[in-house]
Structure 1
Amino acid sequence: ATIKKTRVTCKCHGVSGSCSLVTCWQQLSSFREIGDYLKDKYDGGTEVKVNRRGRLQVKNPSYAVPTANELVFIDESPDYCIQNTTIGSQGNFNYTAF
Structure 2
Amino acid sequence: MLSGNLFYDSTAFLIGPKRQVTMMLDPVRIYATSIYIASMIIALFCALYVHNKLLTFLALILEFGALVWYSLSYIPFARSMVSKIMASCFDTEF
TM-score normalised over the length of structure 2? 0.24
Higher helix proportion, which one? 2
Structure with the greater relative contact order (CA < 8 A, sep ≥ 6): 1 or 2? 2
Higher strand proportion, which one? 1
TM-score normalised over the length of structure 1? 0.23
